[in-house]
């Protein structure tokens, strides 16, 4: 895969919002009943456990996260689709601005949970973060020919494993190739797979970095730490004004 200049900018933004996802995920986890708002696979497991154990309040919170994430994803994709039909080049800014607003709103509203610790208020706060993460995951899904997920690192690790397997087999093909042209061909394929693998590894690494920074900052200033990812999202909105981020998403390319 060859990254064009626009793809390089988009890849940098993808890493930045992946850091945001890791940050939001851990701050939400630490602040509200240890429930993840971006890691919906784990939240689904929590829901199953809580339903089986008849912990209805906990099940309601897990279900709220799943419903909020789905709702945010649907709205995010609808915005992208509307942007395509109306030919709005900077449509990503709409979703990112909504996500930023939800993260900022989380800070003052979280004080209500501190003053009156109820499951209903916890569900409302979890819904804010889950919708924000759903909006994010729908906004930036492609870089060149690559399908990416900035809130779903399990899929990115799976793709990383596939690409590393390709690198190994191309090494074997290079060893067996008898002609210089064949060796060059396989080296080119190996290099492309290695570059893609390094990018997917970076997505995982930035999610981890977001979790580390979110933990450190949360223990310093509490929920006000959510202003940090909000500020980073504002920078992505500025970037979108100069280099529209969701043009590929608007074309609705088939999955690869």
The pLDDT of residue 50: 93
Q: Cα–chain-centroid distance for residue 127? A: 17
SS3 sequence, 209-228?
HHHHHHHHHHHHHHHHHHHH
Beta bridge partners of 143: 146
Check whether 252 has a pLDDT greater than 70. no
Angle at which helices 227-242 and 180-221 pack, to 10 degrees? 140
The answer to whether the beta carbons of residues 186 and 173 sit under 8 Å apart is yes
CA distance linking residue 22 with residue 149, whole number of Å: 12
More confident residue, 214 or 146: 214
Q: What is the mean pLDDT of residues 71-88?
A: 90
Termini Cα distance of the chain: 13
Q: What is the mean pLDDT of residues 221-248?
A: 89
The pLDDT of residue 250: 54
The pLDDT of residue 4: 47
Neighbours of 34 (CB within 10 A): 10
Check whether 189 has a pLDDT greater than 70. yes
CA distance linking residue 110 with residue 119, whole number of Å: 12
Check whether 114 has a pLDDT greater than 80. no
Please tell me whether residue 91 adopts helix, strand or coil conformation: coil
Q: Categorize the per-residue pLDDT at 72 as very low, low, confident or very high, splitting at 50, 70 and 90.
A: very high
210-220 b/e (C-beta count within 10 Å ≥ 16 → b) = bbebbbebbee
172 — phi, psi (to 5°)? -65, -40
Q: What angle do CA 74, 105, 112 make, to 5 degrees?
A: 115
């Amino acid at each position: 895969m060859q990254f064009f200049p626009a793809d390089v900018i988009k890849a940098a933004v993808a890493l930045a919002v992946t850091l945001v996802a890791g940050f939001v995920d851990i701050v939400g986890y630490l602040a509200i009943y240890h429930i993840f708002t971006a890691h919906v696979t784990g939240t689904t497991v929590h829901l199953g456990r809580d339903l089986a154990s008849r912990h209805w309040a906990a099940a309601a919170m897990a279900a709220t996260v799943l419903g909020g994430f789905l709702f945010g994803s649907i709205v995010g994709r609808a915005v992208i689709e509307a942007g395509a039909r109306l030919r709005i080049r900077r449509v990503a800014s709409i979703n990112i601005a909504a996500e930023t607003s939800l993260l900022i709103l989380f800070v003052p509203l979280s004080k209500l949970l501190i003053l009156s610790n109820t499951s209903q208020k916890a569900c409302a706060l979890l819904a804010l973060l889950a919708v924000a993460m759903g909006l994010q995951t729908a906004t930036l899904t492609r870089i060149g020919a690559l399908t990416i997920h900035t809130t779903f690192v399990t899929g990115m690790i799976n793709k990383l494993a596939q690409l590393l397997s390709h690198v190994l087999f191309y090494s074997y093909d290079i060893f067996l190739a008898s002609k210089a042209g064949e060796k060059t061909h396989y080296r080119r394929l190996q290099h492309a797979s290695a570059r893609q693998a390094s990018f997917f590894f970076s997505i995982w690494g930035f999610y981890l970095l977001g979790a580390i920074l979110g933990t450190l900052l949360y223990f310093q200033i509490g929920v006000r730490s959510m202003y940090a990812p909000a500020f980073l999202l504002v920078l992505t909105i500025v970037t979108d004004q100069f280099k529209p981020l969701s043009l590929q998403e608007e074309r609705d390319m088939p999955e690869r």
